[in-house]
A and B are shown apart, each in its own frame.
Chain A
Amino acid sequence: MTNATPGLLTPEQEGDLVAAYRAVRRLAEGCEVPAVRAAVLAAEAELRLALDGQDLDCDYYVRPGRPPAP
Chain B
Amino acid sequence: MSYWNTKAETMPRPELEAWQWRRLRRAAEHARHHSPFWADRIPGGLSSPAEFTARVPLLHKADLLAAQAVSPPYGTWPSIDPAAGARHHQTSGTSGNPPVRSIDTARDWVWSTDTFCTALYANGVRSGQRGMVCFGYGLFAGFWGMHYALERMGCTVFPSAGLDSRSRIGLLTEYRIEVVGLTPSYALRLMEVAREEGVDLAREANVEVILAGAEPRSDRTTAAIEEAFGARVFNAAGTTEYGGVFMFECPARRNACHVVESSCYDEVLDPDTGRAVPYGAQGVRVTSGLSREGVQLFRHWTEDVVVRRPHHECGCGRSWDFYDGGILRRVDDMRKIRGASVTPVMVEDVVRAVPGVAEFQASIRTVRGLDTVHLRVDAGEPDGEGGRRLARELADRFKRAIGIRPEVELVPPGSLPRTEWKATRLHDERDPRTPHP
Residues on A facing B (Cβ under 8 Å): 6-9, 41-42, 44-46, 48-49, 52-55, 60-61, 63-67
Contact = CB atoms under 8 A, between A and B. Distances in A.
A53 B7 contact: yes
Contacts of B50: none
Nearest to B34: A64
Contacts of A65: 34, 80-81, 84
B79 A64 contact: yes
A61 B30 CA distance: 7
Nearest to A44: B107
B54 interface: no
B2 interface: yes
A39 B154 CA distance: 20
Contacts of B81: 64-66
Interface of B: 2-3, 5-8, 10-11, 19, 26-27, 30, 34, 79-81, 83-84, 105-107, 109-111, 114, 262, 291, 293
- Which 6 pairs across A and B sit closest by C-beta, in order of nearness? A7-B6, A45-B107, A65-B81, A61-B30, A66-B83, A66-B81
27 contacts: A6-B2, A6-B6, A7-B3, A7-B10, A8-B7, A9-B7, A41-B106, A45-B107, A45-B110, A48-B107, A48-B110, A52-B111, A53-B5, A53-B114, A53-B262, A54-B7, A54-B8, A55-B19, A60-B26, A61-B34, A61-B79, A64-B80, A64-B293, A65-B34, A65-B81, A65-B84, A66-B84
B275 to A, nearest CB: 31
Given A45-B107, A53-B114, A65-B84, A8 B6 contact: yes
A27 to B, nearest CB: 16
A8 B111 CA distance: 19
B146 to A, nearest CB: 17
A15 B114 CA distance: 22
Contacts of B109: 45
Nearest to B152: A46
Nearest to A52: B291
A25 to B, nearest CB: 12
A7 B80 contact: no
A49 B30 contact: no
A52 B108 CA distance: 12
Nearest to A46: B110
B7 A61 contact: no
A3 B436 CA distance: 66
Contacts of B26: 60-61
Nearest to A67: B84
Nearest to A63: B84
Contacts of B79: 61, 64
Contacts of B107: 44-45, 48-49
A42 B109 CA distance: 11
A13 to B, nearest CB: 12
Contacts of A64: 30, 34, 79-81, 84, 293
A8 B6 CA distance: 7
Nearest to B80: A64
Contacts of B262: 53
B18 to A, nearest CB: 10
B287 to A, nearest CB: 18
Interface centre among B81, B107, B293 (most CB of A within 10 A): B107
Nearest to B109: A45
A38 B105 CA distance: 14
B39 to A, nearest CB: 13
Nearest to B114: A49
A55 B261 CA distance: 13
Given A64-B30, A64-B84, 12 more contacts: A6-B2, A7-B10, A44-B107, A45-B109, A46-B110, A49-B114, A53-B262, A55-B7, A61-B26, A64-B34, A64-B81, A64-B293
